Amino acid sequence: MKDVKATLIGSKLTADQQNQLAEAARVLRGRRVETFSSAVTHVVVPDGPMPSTLTVLQGILNGCWVLTFTWLAECLQQGRRIEESEFQVAEGPRRARANRVSLLPPLFNGCFFYLLGSFHKPPRDELVQLVRAGGGQLLSRQPKADSDVTQTVTAAAYHARPDSDQALCTHYILYEPQSSSRPGPVRLGKVWSAPSSWLLDCIRAFSLLPVPEL
């Protein structure tokens, strides 16, 4: 990927760090952008725990490098592009990166999502963006767990571990845990209910995690 021009975006950086990001883009003969798109190759975040901003989550789903600011500082110090691998911020981005390099399907391949009720953290439009970026499909109607049509769908979740509950499930009813629209628990065959926080956790880990029992 070294022959691909670096397109950098920062998330949760200070004003000074953003200035250094712009300088690094010049040093690397790439460019810095302020809005995420499929052209982004590197997401740079502060050293420490990985932030869960929309930009970072989009970067993970797209298999971008998600790197600590130390990588950027090293690039500036040496005046060249430093090997990124050791500066990845967490395991989830590592898995996502390997998935992209291997040309495997996106995280939510084979999964369908219905968004029930209102959403605030994150808002509905961000959830829609994340589902689509992850290769998931959005449903306009709530799936019925007792529907033969739903239960006989042949799609399978590519990234579900074969021995997990999620290997059976393809249709998720997403809800915000604090919302008054929260449904009763649904865990029947291919149809499960899940909090929106579960979706975010899956993206951070780049894994279809077990749905928590609430």
Residue range 104-149, pLDDT digits in tens: 999 999 999 999 999 998 999 999 999 999 999 999 999 987 777 6
Rounded Cα–Cα distance for residues 211 and 165 (Å):
9
178-190 pLDDT per residue, tens: 877 777 778 888 9
Rounded Cα–Cα distance for residues 97 and 169 (Å):
25
> Domain 7-102 belongs to what topology?
Rossmann fold (3.40.50)
Domain 112-205, CATH number (from 1.20.140.10, 3.40.50.10190, 2.60.120.10, 1.10.3720.10)? 3.40.50.10190
Q: What are the Cα distances from residue 36, in Å, to 7, 59, 86, 174, 205? A: 10, 8, 23, 24, 20
Rounded Cα–Cα distance for residues 75 and 167 (Å):
42
Percentage, residues of the chain above pLDDT 70: 96
Give residue for tokens 């500082």.
73
What residues contact residue 115 under an 8 Å CB cut-off, 6+ apart? 124, 127, 128, 138, 174
Rounded Cα–Cα distance for residues 12 and 178 (Å):
26
pTM: 0.93
Instruction: For residues 17-33, give the mean pLDDT.
Output: 96
Pairing of strands 191-195, 187-188: antiparallel
User: Could you tell me how far CA 174 lies from the centroid of its own chain?
Assistant: 16
Rounded Cα–Cα distance for residues 139 and 157 (Å):
16
Q: Write out the residue limits of the CATH 3.40.50.10190 domain(s) in the chain.
A: 7-102, 112-205
87-114 pLDDT per residue, tens: 999 999 999 999 999 999 999 999 999 9
